[in-house]
Amino acid sequence: MGLGLSLPWIVTSSSIEEGELHIHIDFEKGAKFDGCSVHDTVERSWRHLNFWQYPTYLHARVPRVVGPDGKVKQVEVPWARPGSGFTALFEALALTMCRHMPVRRVAMELHMDDMALWRLMDKCVDAARSKADFSNVTRVGVDETSSRRGHRYITKFVDLDRARVLFVCEGKAADTLKKFAEDLVLHGGKVRQIKTFSCDMSPAFLSGIAENFPKADVVLDKFHLVKMLSEAVDETRRAESKGNQLAKGTRFLWLKNPSRLKEEEKVKLQALVDGPVYGQTAEAYRLRLAFQDLFNQSKRKASHYLANWLDAALDSGVKAIEDVAETFFKMRNKILSWFDHRISNGILEGLNSVLQSAKNRARGYANPKHMILISYLIHGKLDLSPEALKTT
């Protein structure tokens, strides 16, 4: 009953050996499988959920039968996937634990080798992804995140309508878009069905989208655009802060949005804006806030508003802002595309934050493929239930 077995499967014996519970399973004499008589048997073992405090293993004679085509095939047991050394229930438990804990810690709790756990995760995620359906994906966000020190990255593709990770691969070059296009087709999607991409201003992403998804509109992520302006404000602040003792502790006053400042911080910032030291920083800060307000405009007014902002930024006399404005001018159509599609990479930023937290808890991943697996496990919205694993 505890194993959920039904005839012709029966438990023949059980024993505790060196702190482990071993359960032996057999089938009734004369039993047939799929209407076929047993040809011979193969001894197999599986790791199962703990019974009480005991690590538990199932052992069984697995029958092989001769099919109508005359070929000998092994019968699938009801408690495990074909070829797996773990029961479906054990796999489901291990995968659930790995969603919330570092893999090494899970391996310790389950009394198993961590590399064996990684292999288990790889097989289950791959099997679950093979059943994933991308036929209804139309809006995609793409972004990179660091996988380890030394400029090692992985690139993630996310379904913006369902907040699920579709595809992850190593690197952040243009060929990642080709790999995604191939994976999309493998899962029932079509290149022409992707109407919109949200991404940063990466030349690799932009060229990859143009080459592999020529019909898709590109929306430059507004958060990355504002980040570029924030970096320009900070660059200007550093230049004006040299030798100024009053500059200490003021950096985040310039980088935060006014709504997030406390009253005393607002007073301090206003004094800096009105003071003689930070003239260019104050202008850069004002232009950053004005650009953010672009996304509060109506679609009808947005083009005119952006044109006026670009004129002001290019004539501001602030070198860092002028450099950003020149880039924005070249990309103005992709910036204004936001008003047609209203998408951003906000979802990806949130998913990346969770993924980086998992990486930090694990103290990093030596193998980038492990981080890719964790990304699928946490955010792929894959069906990893015991029922699905048994039928995969």
> What residues contact residue 226 under an 8 Å CB cut-off, 6+ apart?
288, 291, 292
Residues 20, 84, single domain; the answer is yes
Tell me, yes or no, whether 254 lies in a domain: yes
Q: In terms of residue numbers, what domain contains 103?
A: 9-128
Going from the C-alpha of 317 to that of each of 203, 244, 282, 293, the distances in angstroms are 27, 22, 12, 21
CA distance 231 to 141: 23
Domain count of the fold of the chain: 3
CA distance 387 to 378: 19
Could you tell me the CATH number of the domain that includes residue 159?
A: 3.30.420.10
294, 338 in Cβ contact below 8 A? no
Per-residue pLDDT of the chain (392 residues), as tens digits, is 888 899 999 999 999 999 999 999 999 998 999 888 899 999 999 999 998 889 999 999 999 998 888 889 999 999 998 889 999 999 999 999 999 999 999 999 998 899 999 999 999 999 999 999 999 999 999 999 988 776 689 999 999 999 999 999 999 999 999 999 999 999 999 999 999 999 999 999 999 999 999 999 999 999 999 999 999 999 999 988 886 766 677 889 999 999 999 999 899 999 888 888 889 999 999 999 999 999 999 999 999 999 999 999 999 999 999 999 999 999 999 999 999 999 999 999 999 999 999 988 888 888 899 999 999 999 999 998 888 776 66
Residues 283, 272, single domain; the answer is yes
Kindly write down the DSSP assignment for every residue of 306-344, as one continuous string: HHHHHHHHHTS--HHHHHHHHHHHHTHHHHHTHHHH---
Kindly write down the DSSP assignment for every residue of 193-231, as one continuous string: G--EEEE-S-HHHHHHHHHH-TT-EEEE-HHHHHHHHHH
Tell me, yes or no, whether 2 lies in a domain: no
Residues 297, 335, single domain; the answer is yes
Tell me, yes or no, whether 352 lies in a domain: yes
Tell me, yes or no, whether 392 lies in a domain: no
Residues 209, 245, single domain; the answer is no
CA distance 318 to 284: 7
Residues 336, 356, single domain; the answer is no
12, 26 in Cβ contact below 8 A? yes
Q: Which amino acid is at 1?
A: M
252, 376 in Cβ contact below 8 A? no
pTM for this entry: 0.88
